[in-house]
Amino acid sequence: MRRKLFLVVLAVITAFAIVVWKPFHSEPAIAKDTIRFLTARKDSLYYKAGKEFAETLKDAGFTFDIQESPGSFKNLKDLGRGRADLAFAQQDAFALLRNAGDPNISKLANNIKVFAPLTKEVVHIIANSASGINSLSDLAGKTVGVGPSNSGTYVSAVLLYQLHNLDVIREDLVTMEVKDAIEQVKNGKLDAAFYTAGVGAPLLKNIAAGAKLKLVSIDASSLVDSKGFLGDNPELFASEKIPANTYPWQKQAVNAMSTFSFIYANRSLDSQKVYNLAKAAYGKSAALKAKNSFWKLFSIDDARSTDFAKLDYHPGVKKLLQEK
């Protein structure tokens, strides 16, 4: 049953992927030792974090090619196909890839290892204040923006629909840039929009206090794994609280769901190179955290903690973590 569910989700992703992603510029040839790092679109937190990572490690002798992409799911597919060395992605997107009904997709997960845990990303559901939407159940029959196809926001939205027994094929899900979707929620052209990002996301903080918007609370008890989706991923989503006034237009605290985000690495990346990179990067963890709360969980102590110790780390990282 779990395979069937993921096949449905992948079919939805394919059905919505009308526009083929292309980079906004022609890609120049890169030096042999340059590390190709997939992020997201230029205005995204992933892209900003990628630039921070590259800048922080420049003095350690590492050179990065920070690349744009549509988001988590596309990052993982390209990483698994050897088109990049590192990539940002959400844990739920990796679970979708690994459990895909299409074996040509699921086998790509075998080529991917964890480089480092980063942060929790929270699933925000932003609704028009006049929409009558107060829970996941109320999304039935509504027109909802779910982010760009192949993005982490899209994956989170579709999986939560499935876990709430809402039919993703029959529901009116609209794929578009999150920023555009929120604008359409504000003017009533969409009823709601999903956005998976860290609490305090700048895109939402920059919306004026008078906006006719609200956050929809997600009740964890309403999520029913009737089709065996979670399987060996019982902690794929966790309860999270978004405090009142986190955003200028949000007056009440709401319950939400979160998923971890990671840096993933291509399995074939040289282990000694990965070891050297991990050692240098963890040595700069304080500098990264000072730049951005996105790096909250990026430390060697967190990587060794009980929350993450059993992750399938790249052998180069595993060697570092096993050292005293």
4: exposed, middle or buried (C-beta count within 10 Å: 0-12, 13-18, 19+)?
Answer: exposed
User: How many CB atoms are located within 10 Å of the residue 187 CB?
Assistant: 9
Would you give the end-to-end CA distance of the chain in angstroms? 44
Picking from 190, 245, 199, 237, the residue whose alpha carbon sits closest to that of residue 218 is 237
Spell 130-160 as b/e; 16+ CB within 10 A means b. Answer: ebebeebebbeebbbbbbbbbbbbbbbbbbb
CA distance 114 to 266: 9
Going residue by residue through the chain, which has 324 residues, state the pLDDT in tens, using 9 for 90 and above. Answer: 333 444 445 554 544 443 334 444 445 555 568 999 999 988 888 999 999 999 999 999 999 999 999 889 999 999 999 999 999 999 989 988 888 878 999 999 999 999 999 999 999 999 999 999 999 999 999 999 999 988 899 999 988 998 888 888 899 999 999 999 999 999 999 999 999 998 888 899 999 999 999 999 998 877 765 455 555 554 678 899 999 999 999 999 999 999 999 999 999 999 999 999 999 999 999 999 999 889 999 999 999 999 898 899 999 999 999 997
Alpha carbon distance 153, 146 (integer Å): 6
Residue 40 makes CB contacts below 8 A (sequence gap 6+) with 46, 47, 68, 69, 70, 71, 72, 75, 88, 151
pTM: 0.84
